[in-house]
Amino acid sequence: MKKTFVNLAQLQEITQQYPTPFHLYDEKGIRENARRLQRAFQWNKGFKEYFAVKATPNPAILNILKEEGCGADCSSFTELMLAQAVGFTGDEIMFSSNVTPVEDFAYANKLNAMINFDDITHIDFFNQIADMPETISLRYNPGGEFKISNAIMDNPGEAKYGLTREQLTEGIKKLQNLGVKHFGLHAFLASNTTTNEYYPELAKILFKTAVELKQETGAHISFINLSGGVGIPYRPEQEPADIMAIGEGVRQAYQEVLTPAGMDDVAIYTELGRFMLGPYGCLVTTALHEKHIHKDYIGLDACAANLMRPAMYGAYHYITVMGKENLPCDHKYDITGGLCENNDKFAVDRMLPKIDLGDLLVIHDTGAHGFAMGYNYNGKLRSAEVLLKEDGSTELIRRAETPADYFATLNCTEYFKKSLF
């Protein structure tokens, strides 16, 4: 059984102020987790976590992570704007994008962000709009299948991201001719892994590649970015990744590969999103309807517009019926939202305690890629975001959308009067 970071009494008090549905975040958990990550990699004097802004793009969350020493990993113009607004500057920002518009590259360059090229053609594309910075990163895609032991973790050969191995050498030589003096190497080969071996295996690949690139080009590799991919246990029976063991595994690979090559000045970067925030957010929702036809359904006031992972991927999220944690799970339900789509289900055939209308339900592990993936299909409005602070108080860090927000971008004055809102 997964435990919530908030109890029923707290939730009942919170919902008096903020009507459901809303995403709730645990400041204490976020800070403690960020500090664990820092301890796991403290052996590397240049280590820095660049939080993946796309996972939870809220300035209050970003500010907490900034206070804990993290940077910001951005992939779009508006994410760069958000990072700048929070106070991230220069090399506190990593710009790692793909199919990148001119405006995005120009803005990243204006902020002096570190730029991670996703393709060799981006070199000439960028060079037409700005002088090359002294430091540039290249994203590597080794192709094929990524395996740990004999288990296939993912298939980089099918991914749209990154340069081939041959293109890395070609790209570095081209960048050197354009005045680049320092290089970063980046790769993302698997998603949401809870095995402790993923980062160390990825690190070995990148470390060996870095040594080869130095030998081939004489380039100074100043950092290696292990990107994201360290996941969380969405299911209660899953074991979480041990970040201390992961950090130690990367350290051993560093000493085995980089140190003998005289490259012990290489900084290690990460850009974790799900690992940093996933378990420290939840979707709070109320049972609104029940339906008994060919199956038993519980309809919530939340829907896939608030959390689309189950509808999009069939992803599992644990559900707690608040106040009934110790009751037997002897009722089988489909837990649904109100979209006109049959995949708008948070759970299918889920065994839960008997749910009564008005019960508060907590859908776990929505702190990353939860609110951020929301949308307005069926005219549904995106929810509020609330921060549970360390002292037990709450702060509204994003208000719920209103119909006025939904219609704000339409030229609809001839159809709607102001009094409508």
CB 287 within 8 A of CB 298: yes
Average model confidence (pLDDT) for the chain?
Answer: 95
**Domain 280-407 bears CATH identifier 2.40.37.10:** yes
Give the C-alpha separation, 40 to 306, whole Å. 33
- Mean pLDDT throughout 206-222? 98
**Res 48: pLDDT:** 98
Give the C-alpha separation, 210 to 259, whole Å. 12
17-64 pLDDT, tens digit each? 999 999 999 999 999 999 999 999 999 999 999 999 999 999 999 999
Per-residue pLDDT band for 147 (boundaries 50, 70, 90) equals: confident
Per-residue pLDDT band for 420 (boundaries 50, 70, 90) equals: low
**Res 202: pLDDT:** 95
Q: Which of 303, 329, 340, 412 is catalytic?
A: 340
**Res 156: pLDDT:** 85
- Mean pLDDT throughout 286-315? 97
Give the C-alpha separation, 186 to 137, whole Å. 7
* Whether the bond into 21 is cis, omega within 30 of 0: yes
**How far is CA 23 from each of CA 65, 308, 313, 371, rounded to the nearest angstrom?**
18, 13, 20, 7
340 in active site: yes
Give me the residue label for tokens 């004489």.
218
Q: Is the pLDDT of residue 150 over 80?
A: no
- Mean pLDDT throughout 222-233? 96
Q: What does the block give as tokens for 280?
A: 């420290």
Q: Is the pLDDT of residue 300 over 90?
A: yes
Residues near 294 by beta carbon (within 8 Å), at least 6 away in sequence: none
Q: What does the block give as tokens for 325?
A: 């944690």
Q: What's the half-sphere exposure (Cβ side, CA atoms, 13 Å) at 409?
A: 2
- Mean pLDDT throughout 83-95? 98
Q: What does the block give as tokens for 155?
A: 């298939």
Ramachandran angles phi, psi of 245, nearest 5°: -65, -35
**Res 144: pLDDT:** 84
β-pairing verdict for 135-139 and 182-186: parallel
**Res 70: pLDDT:** 98
- Mean pLDDT throughout 379-398? 97
331-379 pLDDT, tens digit each? 999 999 999 999 999 999 999 999 999 999 999 999 999 999 999 999 9
Q: Is the pLDDT of residue 13 over 80?
A: yes
Largest Cα separation within the chain, whole Å, is: 72
Q: What does the block give as tokens for 147?
A: 């395996």
- Mean pLDDT throughout 290-311? 97
- Mean pLDDT throughout 107-127? 97
How many other β-carbons are positioned within 10 Å of the β-carbon of residue 351? 11
Share of the chain above pLDDT 70, in %: 96
CB 367 within 8 A of CB 25: yes
156-210 pLDDT, tens digit each? 888 889 999 999 999 999 999 999 999 999 999 888 999 999 999 999 999 999 9
pTM of the model: 0.95
**Res 157: pLDDT:** 81
What's the CATH fold of domain 27-278? TIM Barrel (3.20.20)
Q: Is 267 helix (H, G, I), strand (E, B) or coil?
A: strand
Domain positions in the chain: 27-278, 280-407
**Res 152: pLDDT:** 62
Give the C-alpha separation, 395 to 388, whole Å. 7
Give me the residue label for tokens 């063991």.
245
**Res 417: pLDDT:** 62
Distance in angstroms between the alpha carbons of the first and the last residue of the chain:
44
Among the listed residues 68, 101, 61, 50, the one whose alpha carbon sits nearest the alpha carbon of residue 85: 61
